[in-house]
Copies of this chain bind each other. A is one copy, B any other.
Amino acid sequence: MHQALILTKYPDEYARLIHEATLPGLTTIATSEVADGVARGGDSGIVLGDPARVVQALPHLPRLQWVQLSWAGVEPMLDPALRRDYILTNVRGVFGPLMSEFVFGYLLAHERKIRLRDEAQRAGRWDTTLPGTLGGRTMGLVGVGSIGAHLASTAKHFGMTVRGYTRSSENCPHVDRYFHGPDAVAFARGVNYLVAVLPHTTATRRIVDAGMLNALSPGAVVVNAGRGDTLDTGALVKALTEKPLAAAVLDVFEQEPLPADHVLWRTPGVSITCHTAAPSFPADIVSVFAENYRRFARGEPLQYRVDFDRGY
C-alpha cells in the first residue's frame, strides 16, 4: 500500500479524479491546507501538489520518496537549503497545446477585431470592416522549447512563416529560420507577432528590448507568456504609446500580482492575463500522476524527473 498526500488549491477535484483513475494500492489524503495535510498525512511516501505548498510541507515528511509537482516550474524546490533526498517529477507535454490556445486566441481576437465588432454590435451597426488574417504573416518565437515547438506547429497550420530565436538549438521542424545571440534585430525585422516563451530556467534578462521592439513590423503584436523579466517593460510601453506596436498580451510579470498602480494596467493595447496562459488543469495533472504512480509501484523510472543540479 502507498499513501499520497495531495496539497493543492483544488483538493476535492484531485481526489475525485485520482479515485476515478483506480490506481491499485493507493490511498490519498487531499487538502489545500499544508498544516492539515502534514497533521493527517505526514507519513506519506508520495506527495502531489503545487510547489508553494509542497515546499512548506517538505520538512515534515519523514517517509517521503517521491514528489509529483502539478506545475512545470520547479524553482521553489531548488533552494539549496531544502532537502533533495527524494525523486522530484514535474509536468511536461501538456502546456504546449494550452499555450497555443492562449496565443492564437489572442492573436485571432486581434486580427478578427472582436472587440471592435462587439462595440459595433452594441451600437446596432452592421459593420463589414474586413478582418485581418494570420495567413502569410510572420511569427517570431523567442525560445523554442516544447511550448515554442507547439506554437510553431499551430502557426504553420494557419499558413504562417516562423522564425526562432534561441541560444543555439535548431531542432524544431516547424521553424523556417533560426537566429541566435547578436542577430536579435535581424530576427525581429518584419516580424508581425513576437511571442516570448522562454522558460524560467533561462538566465538572460530583457532579451526583448527597444532594439528588438523597434525592428518589428508596424502594427505588430507582442505576447509574453514565459517569464516577466524577458521583456523591457519601459521600452514596451514606449513602443505601444508611440504606435509602432499595435498590442501586447502579457501573462507574466516581474512582480505578481501586478501592482495595482502599475502603468501596464492602463497602457493602450495591453491585455493582462494574470498568469493563466497555460494553467495546470487537474485532469491533465492527474493523467501524468497516474502514469508515474503505476511506474513507481512497479519500481520503474518515472517520467519527467527533475535533476536538482541542472534545474530541469
> Could you tell me which A residues sit within 8 Å of B by CB distance?
97-98, 100-102, 104-106, 108-109, 111-112, 114-115, 117-118, 120-121, 124, 126-131, 133-136, 153-154, 157-159, 256-258, 260, 265, 271-276, 279, 281, 283
Expressed in whole angstroms, the minimum distance between the Cβ of A248 and any Cβ of chain B is: 12
Whether B118 pairs with A271 at a CB distance below 8 angstroms is yes
Residue of B nearest to A277 (CB): B131
Q: When A121-B272, A265-B121, A281-B130 are in contact, do A114 and B106 touch as well, CB less than 8 Å?
A: yes
Known: A104-B104, A112-B101. A281 touches B128 (CB 8 A): no
Which B residues are in CB contact (< 8 Å) with A256? 126
Q: In the bound complex, do residue B274 and residue A133 qualify as a contact, i.e. CB atoms below 8 Å apart?
A: no
CB closest chain-B residue, reference A156: B157
Complex: A105 Cα to B115 Cα, angstroms: 12
Given the known A-B contacts A105-B105, A109-B114, are A131 and B279 also in contact in the complex, defined by CB atoms under 8 Å? yes
Closest 5 CB pairs of A and B: A105-B108, A126-B257, A105-B112, A121-B272, A109-B109
Tell me how far the C-beta of A154 lies from the nearest C-beta in chain B, rounded to whole angstroms: 7
Q: Are A100 and B158 in touch, CB under 8 angstroms?
A: yes
Q: Which residues from chain B contact A98 at a C-beta distance below 8 Å? A: 133, 135
A101 adjacent to B258 (CB under 8 Å): no
| Residue pair B279, A130 in contact (C-beta under 8 Å) | yes
Known: A97-B158, A98-B135. 8 other contacts (CB 8 A): A101-B111, A101-B133, A105-B114, A124-B265, A126-B256, A126-B257, A128-B275, A130-B281
